[in-house]
Structure 1
Amino acid sequence: MKIKSLLTTTLLLLLFCACRDEESIVENEEEEEEVIIDIADYSDWDDATHSKSAELNYDVVFNQNEVLRFDITIDSDDWSEMQSNLSSILSSSSGRPGQSIDFDDPMFVPCSFKFNNTEWYHVGIRYKGNSSLQSAYQSGIKKLSFKLDFDEFEDDYPAIKNQRFYGFKQLNLKNNYLDLSQMREKVGADVFRQFGLASSQTAFCVVYVDYGSGPQYYGLYTIVEEVDDSVIKTQFTDGSGNLYKPDGSAATFASGTFDTSELELKTNEDSANYSDARTLYDIINSSLRTSDVEAWKNNLESVFNVDAFLKYLAANNIIQNWDTYGNMTHNYYLYNNPVNSLLTWIPWDNNEAFQEGKRYGTLSLSMSEVSSSWPLIKYIIAQPEYEAIYEGYLQQFIDEVFSPSEMISTYSTYYDLIKEYVYAEESGYSFLSSDSQFDSAVETLKTHAQTRNNVVESYLN
């Protein structure tokens, strides 16, 4: 009986192993088949265009002489979920136009992204923006801004690990919200950079979106470089420092407002050391400002790039960007440059520039109306030495960057470049109601350049 039982057990074990081996073979065959399919699905992949090892190709991605075309395809179910998520987020938020609104970022969904007949796979796409996103959405305009992240879904699709778009991990497609000229976002970023300030590269593109019913023209957009992706890597010698994107009352750096939850770290998140930002906060509000001003200035200059900030103020006040520091608690970055350990100002979001402030007014050139609620302006510009430097930069900006002849030429060039794409925008996907609105807005920009030069000359003389 024991022998019979042993034989039976042995046979059962052999049968079990045989079944396991057969299942293993089937699984291996299925895995091999999946690999073959995986390779076929990613046939457009090329190191020069898709891999992390690719050099940042600014000539292609930020082509200044063409309007690029991007085709985005999103699965209909993902699209529906994307819309439900956005509706849920915005229905529970509130805030005045132009102010920061406290809501979570919209969700990413995967999309197929095509450019020049080449596909990038499972690219993360989400809506982006703050009050501009809410306002455009509530007005029924479907031309909303997007953020792209080319390896957002690499965990779900390992074959696209570290996918890049000509070296870039993230890009912003901005919708030129409330900008009838469609140029302010681009020109604002460009003039800052031309003046020697860190600022994103920009270019024009058109966007088509297909979520199941065929490609829909979403209109002319501005491609804007992501600060924490490539700006700090290419416009600073060392891109390893802390990068903050303040948003909320702490962004004022006013006394009693310091709050790390409103000083979003975009780099070095794991270490989350806010000591540099805290030091700036403490120094700008220090009693030394009134008891020992030279010591206060020395301390300030040891942590904050005051010269770059004065340069920024000069350019920003001339172009009249009202939706920024001094009026609004957002729309800038602070980067702790490892080369000199100075927090350096990086401007962001220029679609509301080049016009009188429609809601809250732009800052005057003297900034005398600015209160201690904005100490980085109020306390710095109150020092005669800093005021003199600032006024020197006012003159330099209109002489070297914002001269009427230079700006009129720029606006005319961009008008010729983009007008056919602006004219082609469709109702429901445009902030324009007529082609003539676009034409008139461009002429207004030209007049604005001359007017602002006259204002600066009058102020300085």
Structure 2
Amino acid sequence: MVTNKYITRIASVIMAAAVILCLMASLFSDKLQEVYGNNAVTMKYESKLFSTDQIMDIDILMDEDDWNDMLENAISEEYYSCDVVVNGKTFYSVGIRPKGNTSLSSIVNDPDTDRYSFKLEFDHYIEGQTCYGLDKLILNNNYADATNMKEAIVYDMYQYLGVDGKDGDGWQMGEKPDGEDFPQKGEMPDGADFPQKGEMPDGEDFPQKGEMPDGADFPQKDEMPDGEDFPQMGEAPNGEAADIKMGIMGGNGGSDLNYTDDDLDSYSTIWDGEITDTDKKDHKRVVEALKNISEGTDLETYMDVDNILKYMAVHTFVVNDDSLSGTMAHNYYLYEYNGKLNILPWDYNLSFGGMSMGGKMGGQSLGATSVINDAIDTPFSITDFFNALLENEEYLEQYHGYLNELVEKYVNGGEFEKTYERIRSQIDDLVGNDPTAFYSYEEYEEAANMLIEVVQLRAKSVSGQLAGTIPSTDEGQQQDSSNLIDGSDIDLSVMGSFSGGGGGNEGQGKDNGFAGTPQPFDAGDVSPISEEKADLQDSNQDSVK
């Protein structure tokens, strides 16, 4: 069996998964009941596992040779057998494997760490085995997030506004959702794996065993989402699929959700990213919806307007450019049900400026100022999907109302502080005792404190934009930056930065990778930031103090 040395190596990974999973359980419990009836609220995992009042305790028991072999061959993402003790209960012959895309490749190439994320699959070797109803669980490694809580905070915001999930056909854009995080035949989101730690979308230029995938423009990890996590028309997906290509630069193949024509082949990236089994009838409904949305026709018929406005509010507030609000059309879930489209959130480890730690406006270096003042009325760079909502006076007011609720009630009203303090009380000791953490405890404390300051400054800017004292569009801020909230004393890299060589800043130096010199990147790194929001053609040293 694996000695205590190896068990403690994943203690903090377990902590991160538990915090996020508990939030996701609460976030989707009402919708699970709506979709599946009472069966959705009687599963044992709700009382046994998912409560924000406690941290899950998980031990991995595994033959030491198998453990070492799994780590040495992590890039293959092959399953091994282990026993898992979850909150004192042992589950035997559970499948375990390393998981990730860029985070996995980075750790494989980093000689100083073997801190992988893991996927546990309880029914991999024993058919029908679950953990109190869950068949899969993800243990994330907190890659590129020195705060250890960005995603937990963001999903708490979504929960606060009541963002929900819908039953229907599902398509996922960007990274593979290891963990099957959404309701599956009356079960809790498996692994709640929206929050990925710094992973890149499938389709980027990280070679898989030195070979090019068929039909791909770049070497990639080219896997289908494990588990097909979304219910299709109220039914559970059939098994797992593989070898589906996802992740496209610049929205090729329809992943930017822009209507181009009625040819289904024009939206091939959406269909290739399917998580449930879909056919041409489903695809035609999606294209019809995109067409009407682009024309601003019958929006209530073709969009889940209220839910999407809530999504827009949280997504805009937290400034996550590793998404549709950046220049890559990925990191979101698209739902279709009876011809109505819905957007669901995913992947927020690079929120609060993790992708945009620099920029210029009017020739002046802005650094964190550009993130803190990110324009609320022009939040999306490459997609027109949200334009009709932003151009409609009624919906714009509703969207502004949700932003104001985040400012006045969630942040200024104390909900953010309460959630933050709860999480700190739960994870401080775990982070401090974690022997494989990407960041020291001192760096964690500094990052966590910086998160408070950034959230508060962001709330101040959003409030000013809503009141009209700060321009609420990119163009307006370019013309008049006099009233922008000053972020010149903020070093966003303190909260963690994406880097091709490891999980964080520790041991790398702030002149390495993204934190030191923001600039355009190859597809294998990260997407460039929107030109409207930041001029990344020039190096900007002011983003790092």
TM-score range, shorter chain: 0.5 to 0.7
> Once the two structures are superposed, what CA deviation does each residue of 1:112-157 show, in whole Å capped at 9, x if it has no partner?
1112332111112222222233334333432221222210223xxx
Note closer, same or farther for the CA distance 1:454–1:235 as it changes in structure 2 (3 Å cut): farther
> Once the two structures are superposed, what CA deviation does each residue of 1:360-393 show, in whole Å capped at 9, x if it has no partner?
886933343744x312234542344432322122
The residue number in structure 1 matching 2:444 is 438
Q: Secondary structure of the equivalent of 2:82?
A: strand
Note closer, same or farther for the CA distance 1:67–1:440 as it changes in structure 2 (3 Å cut): same
2-structure distance, mates of 1:352, 1:127: 21
The residue number in structure 1 matching 2:258 is 254
RMSD: 3.7
The residue number in structure 2 matching 1:11 is none
Matches within 5 A, 1:192-231: 192-198=158-164, 226-229=181-184, 230=187
TM-superposed CA distance for 1:278, in Å, is 4.4
> Once the two structures are superposed, what CA deviation does each residue of 1:204-250 show, in whole Å capped at 9, x if it has no partner?
xxxxxxxxxxxxxxxxxxx9872153357999997438899974344
Kept in 1, the 8 Å contact 2:286–2:339? The answer is no
Q: TM-score, normalization: structure 1? A: 0.65
1:407 aligns with 2:413: no
2-structure distance, mates of 1:238, 1:261: 18
Q: Secondary structure of the equivalent of 1:127?
A: strand
2-structure distance, mates of 1:324, 1:380: 19
1:125 aligns with 2:96: yes
Kept in 2, the 8 Å contact 1:185–1:349? The answer is yes
1:142 aligns with 2:114: yes
Give the paired residue count. 349
The amino acid of 1:416's aligned partner reads: S
* More displaced stretch, 72-81 vs 312-321: 72-81
The amino acid of 2:350's aligned partner reads: E
Note closer, same or farther for the CA distance 1:83–1:142 as it changes in structure 2 (3 Å cut): closer
* More displaced stretch, 247-256 vs 175-184: 247-256
The amino acid of 1:368's aligned partner reads: T
Structure (1/2) with the larger strand percentage? 1
The residue number in structure 2 matching 1:332 is 332
Matches within 5 A, 1:391-430: 391-403=400-412, 405-426=414-435, 429-430=436-437
1:71 aligns with 2:76: no
2-structure distance, mates of 1:197, 1:231: 16
> Once the two structures are superposed, what CA deviation does each residue of 1:323-346 show, in whole Å capped at 9, x if it has no partner?
222223322222334xx6533222
* Bigger Rg, structure 1 or 2: 1
2-structure distance, mates of 1:138, 1:121: 32
The residue number in structure 2 matching 1:454 is 460
Note closer, same or farther for the CA distance 1:180–1:301 as it changes in structure 2 (3 Å cut): same
The amino acid of 2:74's aligned partner reads: L
- For structure 2, the 5+ residue unaligned runs are 1-39, 167-177, 191-228, 239-243, 261-265, 359-369, 468-545
TM-superposed CA distance for 1:301, in Å, is 3.2
Note closer, same or farther for the CA distance 1:367–1:457 as it changes in structure 2 (3 Å cut): closer
> Once the two structures are superposed, what CA deviation does each residue of 1:276-312 show, in whole Å capped at 9, x if it has no partner?
45433454346x95xxx5xx421x4323213211210
The residue number in structure 2 matching 1:353 is 351
Note closer, same or farther for the CA distance 1:54–1:302 as it changes in structure 2 (3 Å cut): closer
Q: Secondary structure of the equivalent of 2:376?
A: coil
Matches within 5 A, 1:358-377: 358=356, 364-368=374-378, 370-371=380-381, 373-377=382-386
Q: Percent of aligned pairs with the same residue? A: 26
The residue number in structure 2 matching 1:219 is none
Q: Secondary structure of the equivalent of 1:121?
A: strand
Kept in 2, the 8 Å contact 1:245–1:263? The answer is yes
Kept in 1, the 8 Å contact 2:316–2:376? The answer is no
- For structure 1, the 5+ residue unaligned runs are 1-51, 90-105, 155-160, 201-222
2-structure distance, mates of 1:375, 1:122: 48
Kept in 1, the 8 Å contact 2:324–2:380? The answer is no
TM-superposed CA distance for 1:313, in Å, is 0.8
